[in-house]
Amino acid sequence: MNLDWNKIEEMLEKVQKAPRYTGGEMNTAIKAWDQAELHYGFCFPDTYEVGMSHLGMKILYGLVNQQSDMLCERFFMPWQDMKELMEAGNIPLFSMESRHALSDFDMIGFTLQYEMSYTNILAMMDLGGVHLRGTDRTREEPIVVAGGPCAFNPEPLADFIDAFMIGDGEEVTLDVCRTILEWKKSGEPRENCLRNLAKIRGVYVPSLYTVTYRDDQMVESVTPCCPDVPERVLKCIVTDLDKAYYPMDIPVPYTEIVHDRIMLEIMRGCTRGCRFCQAGMLYRPVRERSIRRLLELAASLEKTTGYEEISLSSLSSGDYTCLAELIRELIRRFQKEHVSISLPSLRLDSILKESLEETQKERKTSLTFAPEAGTQRLRDVINKGITEEDLIEKVTDAFSGGWSAVKLYFMIGLPTETYEDLDGIVDLARKVSRCYFSLPKDKRAKGFRVTVSASSFVPKPFTPFQWASQDTQEVLIAKQHYLKEKLREVKGVVFNYHESRTSYLEAVFARGDRRLCAVLEEAYRQGCYLDSWSEFFDYDKWMEAFRTCGLSPEFYAFRERTRDEVLPWDHIDSGITKAFLWHEKEKGDEALVTPDCRGGCNGCGLNRYEGVCQYAHVRRV
């Protein structure tokens, strides 16, 4: 489609942040459109600032553009001002690189990071001239794929996405691209492409499965429609991160983004087994990158981007085997360039003191710790194997080492939580504050602040708490107000908490089934988009969409599941057995802790697959 560039230039003069749409950033891949056989539109269903901070997008963008016969271009969700101008001017959603319309691409891929971005997927397809429902698309329209953590329960998007990629994207993306390219050349019907995609490990094609429901509205079964489709779709797993593709350069934005720095993924997966944590279950097993490879990547990325901060990215960076050695070598190599090293997602029981002493050689960033719960009993329920002593020791080390800003992450509404557990959050915040003020005045760094953040518990698929109910909004709001009042009394503490209504809808779509597709489309038609942004979220429109479709959101969020219930995502295989997850749920009910599987296999099920799990000891559940 030929776009009116003059119109686009005129629109850019009227919007808040033109760099969201201009493209042309340093290190972008500009490839000749006509010389590529496959055109892949990578779609991040949120704003430019959020999408450009996402590491997965940078990995897949570079991976596809490495192929001589393919190109990958980026799309982001426009802000309201740009969206309205595009609609008024009949300008379709266009790519950052060549400004081709979304409908011009052979395939488009969405990353599913957050349930509240689902309406943005519909908005982007609609704005890009692509039919929302797969059954309405012609052969000339793009094949629509999706991946990411939310793809592990694909059902609420099943009517809109042609194929879901389950698991590590590096492992499956090129196979999907090659299959679509071969189909494109063949001239065969669209259905043939979908059948071929379903043969790839880790690819789920929802149109090739039938869902039936019981009289009580629960799922009865999800079964293949044809014999060559697997009953369960096993996720893809990258077994060696050193051999996996990682970009040596990344696009550098002209405007500020959420995470404006080098993100160095030091490892993938987590061995801790926190029972609320979906990522910790989905990204198993743990795979570490070698120091040699990380230093090679850091050197290249620092040279090609000019960033002055390197973030060591993983679910639990403090668990990286050679963390102190890695930090020491990074600081030594980049000392002249004054590049700082940040340590997100630190566990309290990690060996951090040496690492903290090393990172203070450059400018300090705030340290983040995640106790998650206020009492030891509740931390045992969720299998957060840490103690109050761990927190106090590490925070004392930080304050003594020159830090003054600490962030503490908690979750409220966890299974079995009481107000005594909420009092424990306040007590921990008070003790952290005392750690700082107990130091001599001349030893305290300026700018003391403790930020206590409380998110609302959302039961997620493939966790031991996938069967649990969520607290009602009334209960969550009462708990938020209780903490707000109690924390006012603690010196230097700032309290942040999440909107309970968005957490409610997040739970609905996290555990939803295919019937929610109708609700999602109805909400979009009523004007819902950019729902993760408070200024756009319209709860009343969402509730009206549920009423129109005759579905109850409470059925999905507030109902506790039984052991024998067929869950909407049971046909997806995360590698972890349902028996293991239920056993962990029962242990949580009794506040029993499961040890870190680095010390020996706990029998989650991944050891069924040769070459996947490095721990030899096996204990079956």
Cβ count near 480 (within 10 Å) = 20
What SS3 state is found at 108?
strand
Q: What pLDDT is recorded for position 523?
A: 98
Amino acid of residue 1: M
Listed in order, strand segments (DSSP E) in 18-111 are 38-44, 70-76, 107-111
DSSP annotation string for 349-362: TS--HHHHHHHTTS
Q: Are 74 and 250 in contact (CB under 8 A)?
A: no
Cβ count near 540 (within 10 Å) = 8
Q: What pLDDT is recorded for position 403?
A: 84
Structure-token pair, residue 501: 């209504």
Q: Are 136 and 549 in contact (CB under 8 A)?
A: no
Q: What pLDDT is recorded for position 348?
A: 45
Structure-token pair, residue 98: 């060549």
CA 594 from centre of chain: 25
CA distances from 296 to 24, 53, 240, 249, 563 (A): 26, 21, 16, 12, 48
How far is the C-alpha of 424 from the C-alpha of 387, rounded, in Å?
Answer: 12
Backbone angles phi, psi at 287, to 5 degrees: -135, 125
Query: Angle at which helices 388-400 and 419-437 pack, to 10 degrees?
Result: 30
Q: Are 183 and 140 in contact (CB under 8 A)?
A: no
User: What confidence tens digit (pLDDT) does each residue in 217-256 have?
Assistant: 999 999 999 888 999 999 999 999 999 999 999 999 999 9
Give kind and range of the element (H or E) at residue 434: helix 419-437
Backbone angles phi, psi at 413, to 5 degrees: 85, 15
Q: Are 561 and 512 in contact (CB under 8 A)?
A: no
287-288/572-573 β-pairing: unpaired
Q: What pLDDT is recorded for position 442?
A: 87
How far is the C-alpha of 363 from the C-alpha of 339, rounded, in Å?
Answer: 9
Q: Which of 111, 82, 123, 86 is nearest to 521 (CA)?
A: 123
Q: What pLDDT is recorded for position 614?
A: 54
How far is the C-alpha of 513 from the C-alpha of 155, rounded, in Å?
Answer: 5
Alpha helices in 455-577 (DSSP H): 473-487, 500-510, 516-525, 539-549, 553-557
Q: Which of 150, 136, 120, 131 is nearest to 51 (CA)?
A: 120
Give kind and range of the element (H or E) at residue 453: strand 449-456
Q: Are 14 and 222 in contact (CB under 8 A)?
A: no
Q: Which of 471, 463, 457 is nearest to 585 (CA)?
A: 463
8-state DSSP, 606: G
How far is the C-alpha of 340 from the C-alpha of 367, rounded, in Å?
Answer: 13
CA 530 from centre of chain: 17
What SS3 state is found at 313?
strand
User: What confidence tens digit (pLDDT) does each residue in 257-272 have?
Assistant: 998 999 999 999 999 9
How far is the C-alpha of 15 from the C-alpha of 89, rounded, in Å?
Answer: 14
Sign of CA dihedral 252, 253, 255, 261: negative
Domains of the chain: 5-234 (3.40.50.280), 262-515+551-557 (3.20.20.70)
Residues with pLDDT less than 70, the chain: 1-2, 344-366, 611-621
User: What confidence tens digit (pLDDT) does each residue in 310-361 have?
Assistant: 999 998 888 899 988 999 999 999 988 889 888 765 554 454 555 555 555 5
Burial 289-310 (b: 16+ CB within 10 A, else e): bebebbbebbeebbebbebbbb
